């Protein structure tokens, strides 16, 4: 079983669910109108990185790259980035607790670290 493919698939599935949930069930329940856009940003970044995880999983099956530890770390960092970045934005969107915004950049840094590891691996 390829863990990166599994994680990417789960995140993509949840991204669709959360996107639909935000568009329909939460449409009129956000504390302020701008929080709907924050929710949508969380969904977008979750989907981008779900696709990134799926691509990392595919790359890890490549005969040339193999199951590189850099690819695995890149995937785990992206997964953690989704938890911190998108997760904090989801909670911020429905609660309006602005202090959660301090967690979001940690997720962004985890995303960047994951993409850097992928870059290092492929060069």
How far CA 85 is from CA of 59, 72, 121, in Å, comes to 24, 20, 24
Average pLDDT over residues 67-84: 93
Look up the pTM and report it. Answer: 0.93
24-55 pLDDT per residue, tens: 999 888 988 899 999 999 999 999 999 999 99
DSSP 32: S
Average pLDDT over residues 15-20: 98
Q: Within the chain, where are the H helices? A: 3-24, 34-60, 69-81, 87-95, 104-122
State residue 69 phi and psi, 5-degree precision: -65, -30
């Amino acid at each position: 079983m390829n863990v990166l493919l599994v994680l990417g698939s789960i995140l993509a599935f949840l991204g669709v669910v959360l996107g639909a949930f935000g568009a329909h069930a939460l449409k009129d329940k956000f504390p302020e109108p701008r929080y709907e856009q924050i929710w949508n940003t969380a969904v977008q970044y979750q989907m981008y990185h779900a696709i990134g995880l799926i691509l990392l999983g595919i790359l890890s099956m490549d005969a040339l790259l193999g199951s590189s530890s850099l690819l695995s770390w890149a995937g785990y960092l992206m997964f953690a980035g989704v938890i911190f970045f998108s997760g904090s934005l989801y909670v911020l969107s429905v609660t309006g607790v602005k202090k959660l915004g301090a967690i979001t950049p940690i997720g962004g840094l985890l995303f960047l670290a994951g993409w850097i590891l992928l870059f290092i691996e492929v060069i």
